[in-house]
Structure 1
């Protein structure tokens, strides 16, 4: 993401603008900042990099871009979302109302702000199974957070513990790259947020999806009704099984 993304689309593309405006209204009960300002101001507000601002803004961008593609006749046969992107995917699939999507992304990102600065994430050139082996002895501080492909895995957790693991891997010439975040999503650092998340998501009412949605929590296609508050707690805490989801979709014939 970058400051100014979406500004030209908002000015020139009516479908995009209308979708952003709908997201703006849906988010108003949960925010003390303006989504419209984030998208339209020549210089974005100083809170641009705050996690409780950038995640909802990205959600709105995803929803608005999907609306533009649909207006051009591009209708998805299936959807999949990566980590927080699964909230927008669930809305596009018809399983979540825009209001519920806004509630989920805004409320959980506000809670994440409370742990901002306490975590770290790194991409390592290992399989998920290999990464689990490398994290032995660190399970209470680090977790396998994301499985992107057979040889691309993200580990997440306590910064000092991660540094130790990364240094050990680099000595063996295993490729590692730090992710530019300071929140350790999909790790034990999310456990203290569980109860507050459940309470804030208790009113979420998912419905059967119109478009198949492949879950990156389970790696399988869901009906849509499973996407209640408890599911979104799992979405934040459990690993992102993106590689499994892609494999499942390809096996089902979704190859483009």
Structure 2
């Protein structure tokens, strides 16, 4: 409920939450508690565009068939992409036989970009107009287009050629998701200094690291022994690290 009086409790253990909630109920301060009264006035809207990993097989197909606005925008993206990709975006999303799939980086990144752009245009058509936009990786390219910084054609060129370049250097690296705060993750990978790097901070206890494939294999083995639930991201390149300098 969008109530005026709001509070957030912060912790890792049940006792942490209990302490903060007790302080909240008593009207007392706590280092695990943030509370306040929401300001009045009109709320603002932000579109947040994610990076790779938000995809699934069949994404967008339902809207293609049910929303003329979404379908029209997606076809525009498909036309803008095809000179740089050689495949048809609509065929990719529909899983047409003989068309490359989303497991390829040079397919999934342009496809995600196009779906994000088309969704944003659909939201705007429905009256949900952003005051600001922000994005990560190919989501940043989508945000730049929606903000008017890049034309559709220029954004398509950037996302398609960028993903083709990544595909060309794939095979020598990887990425691992760690259920740890960035500080703890940074301390953990210090053993592999210069070979493994922090690549993305996805939340207070969610950090992605990336780097050399053999170093990540050692990291995964270490995490298994330490009962840290690390997960290998299904890519064979190290995004957002010095690997990308090439």
TM-score past 0.5 threshold: yes
Q: 1:6 maps to what in 2?
A: 60
Q: 1:55 maps to what in 2?
A: 109
Q: 2:14 maps to what in 1?
A: none
Q: 1:118 maps to what in 2?
A: 172
Select the structure with the greater relative contact order (CA < 8 A; seq sep ≥ 6).
Answer: 1
* Native 8 Å contact 2:74 2:115 kept in 1: yes
Structure 1 distance, partners of 2:63, 2:85, is 23
For 1:245-256, list aligned pairs within 5 A: none
State the structure with more CA Rg. Answer: 2
* Native 8 Å contact 1:38 1:44 kept in 2: no
- What SS is found at the alignment partner of 2:190? coil
* Native 8 Å contact 2:60 2:115 kept in 1: yes
| Greater shift in the superposed pair: 44-53 or 110-119 | 44-53
TM-score by length of 2: 0.72
Aligned-residue RMSD, C-alpha: 1.9
1:179 aligns with 2:244: no
1:27 aligns with 2:74: no
Alignment equivalent of 1:92, drawn from 136, 146, 149: 146
Deviations 1:174-223 (A, max 9, x none): 2311212222111222121xxxxxxxxxxxxxxxxxxxxxxxxxxxxxxx
Q: Figure out how many residues of one structure are paired with residues of the other and give that number.
A: 192
1:78 aligns with 2:132: yes
**Which ranges of structure 1 fall in alignment gaps of 5 or more residues?**
193-256
**Which ranges of structure 2 fall in alignment gaps of 5 or more residues?**
1-54
Deviations 1:101-146 (A, max 9, x none): 1111101100111122322111112222222222224233211000
* Native 8 Å contact 2:87 2:99 kept in 1: no
Distance 1:43 1:5, change over 3 A: farther
CA apart distance, 1:48: 3.6
Distance 1:79 1:44, change over 3 A: farther
| Richer in strand (by share) | 2
TM-score by length of 1: 0.69
